[in-house]
Amino acid sequence: MDTNVATPTFDRTTEDLGNIVELGHVNVRVPDQSKAIAYYLMGLGLTRDPYLMAGLDNMWVNVGRGQFHLPTRGADVVRGTTALVMPDLEALLKRLDSTKKYLEGTKFSFREAGDTVETVCPWGNRIRVHAPDAARFAAMRVGMPYVEFDIPSGTDLAAIAKFYVEILGAIAGVASDDRGPYAWARTSAESQVIYRETIAPLPEFDGHHIQITLVDFSGPHQKLLERGLISEESDQHQYRFLDIVDVDSNKPLFRIEHETRSMRHPMFGRTFINRNPDMTNRNFVPGYEVGLWALN
C-alpha cells in the first residue's frame, strides 16, 4: 500500500441536512386572481400547477421544486422578502415591464439592485430574484433558496437559532454579512430561512405561512405540544405552530406560522412542472418548452 498517495479531504458537514428536508411553499392570500396571474405567471414567468388548485378560489404556482400558494381571499404580506433564482434576469425585467399595464394602481414595482432584481407584488410582497450561482445556490436554476424575515431590532438571534436546533432538530446558527448579523436555519439541501433585525415598524402578523417537512415528525410535535405551541392538528401527516420562542423561557420571539409535514405526506416529493417562460407560440421549438429547474 502506497502511504505517500495524498488523501482528498472534504468538509463532510456541508452534506448534512438536519431534520428539516423541505421548504415546500410560501402561502399568501390574494384578493384578485387575475392580478396574481399577471404578476406571478406573466411577470415573474412562473408556472401554474396544472393538477391541483386549478380553479378560481386558489392558485398554486410552481417555482422549481417549491411553490407559492395563493388562496383568493384577503391579502397577506410576508414581513420580509422571498428570494427566487431565475436563469435570465434581463428577460425577467422585460416581462415585468410588459406587465405594468395590468397592474396599474397597485403596489407593483420592480428595479435592478446590483446583481439582483427586486420586485413587489400588487399587494406589497417583496421578492428578490437572483441569477443562478453555483457557489451560493448549488445547482438551482429555478427555485426558492431562502425566505428572509424582518424581525424587531433587539430580538435574540441566537435564541431563534436555538429554537430551530432544539425544538425542530434543524441545523441553524447565527452569521453575519455586509448587512449585519442574522439567524439562519437550513430547510433543505438548497434552502434556508433567515431572520434579520430591522428598525422599521412591522405590521401585525396577518396569517401568511411557510411549509416545511420533517424527518422526525413526532419528536418536534411532542416538544411543541408540551410548550402549548401547537396551533392546529391538521391531519395524520401535518400540524401547525405559530410562534418561535426562547427555549429557556418559552417567551415568544417572532410569529410566523409553520405548516409542518411528515415525509409520509402524500404530496412530499411530488414532481412540479416548470415551463420555459421565453417560449411562445411565435418562437416555439419542440422540446424547449420545459423549464429546467436545475443545472444538472
Residue type, 205: F
User: Do 243 and 255 touch, CB atoms closer than 8 A?
Assistant: yes
Q: Which residues fall within 8 angstroms of residue 94, CB to CB, at 6 or more apart?
A: none
* pLDDT, position 2: 59
The pLDDT score that the predictor gives to residue 5 is 65
C-beta separation of 283 from 133 below 8 A: no
Which residue, 63, 30, 51, 36, is CA-closest to 267?
51
Residues 6+ apart with CB under 8 A from 246: 156, 159, 162, 163, 252, 253
Looking at residue 283, its pLDDT comes to 76
Contact 151, 197 (CB under 8 A): yes
Give the pLDDT confidence score for residue 224 in this predicted structure.
Answer: 98
Q: Are 262 and 241 a contacting pair, CB within 8 Å?
A: no
Grid cell of 283 as nine digits: 418562437
- Three-state DSSP class for residue 89: helix
> Which residue matches cell numbers 420580509?
80
Strand partners, 186: 192
**Side-chain half-sphere CA neighbours of 211 within 13 A:** 20
Domain parsing of the chain, residue ranges? 17-262
Digit-by-digit pLDDT tens for the chain (296 residues) are: 555 666 778 888 888 889 999 999 999 999 999 999 999 999 999 999 999 998 999 999 999 999 999 999 999 999 999 999 999 999 999 999 999 999 999 999 999 999 999 999 999 999 999 999 988 888 889 999 999 999 999 999 999 999 999 999 999 999 999 999 999 999 999 999 999 999 999 999 999 999 999 999 999 999 999 999 999 999 999 999 999 999 999 999 999 999 999 999 999 999 898 887 887 778 777 776 777 766 55
CATH superfamily for 17-262 is: 2,3-Dihydroxybiphenyl 1,2-Dioxygenase, domain 1 (3.10.180.10)
User: What is the DSSP-derived secondary structure letter of residue 274?
Assistant: -
